[in-house]
Amino acid sequence: MGVQLVNSHLTNKANDSNDLVELAQQIQMADTFVHATAKNKLTAIAEQIKALQEQAKNVLEEARLNSDLHHAACNMVKKPGAIYYLYKRPSGQKYLSLLSPQEWGSSCPHTFIGGYRLEVDQSWTPVENISEKDNESELMDKILHSGLALTNT
């Protein structure tokens, strides 16, 4: 007979009485992993849904505010970039004014609701968010600009 090169007993564990148990354990572990992974993925999606819902709510609220502001009484031609101040008359009528409450001082005749800047896209930015909005649009401008530079070269 020739020389035995490999110990088949050692290389083939199929007959090991522990193999089945190990397999079951592996499957169980795999199940847990799959479950955990699926859960993780689902959680990520759920989070995205939540974020989207939130975003959708913001968009709707913003749209309502924008439309409210555009429907407020105003005798002026509204100019993008300008800040307008929303007031409410005792009659309930809301109107836009060029005058801030500081400019009115103590003689302010109606209830002040808020100040808003009209943007080029006819949306409104509350005065307290103006610097944030400006930073954001500056960043976008930069991206847009560098993008253009890329396509130009």
Q: Does 77 bind another protein (CB under 8 A)?
A: yes
If the CB atoms of residues 2 and 90 are measured against another protein, the closer one turns out to be 90
How many residues touch another protein (CB under 8 A)? 19
Q: Does 111 bind another protein (CB under 8 A)?
A: no
CB under 8 Å to 124, separation ≥6 — which residues? Answer: 65, 66, 69, 116, 117, 118
Q: What values do phi and psi take at 61, rounded to 5?
A: -65, -45
Q: Does 98 bind another protein (CB under 8 A)?
A: yes
Under a CB-based contact definition with an 8 Å cutoff, are residues 118 and 77 in contact?
Answer: no
Q: Does 97 bind another protein (CB under 8 A)?
A: yes
Of the candidates 38, 8, 62, the residue with the CA atom closest to the CA atom of residue 70: 62
Q: Does 148 bind another protein (CB under 8 A)?
A: no
Which residues sit at the interface with another protein, rule CB under 8 A? 74-77, 79, 81-82, 95, 97-99, 102-107, 109-110
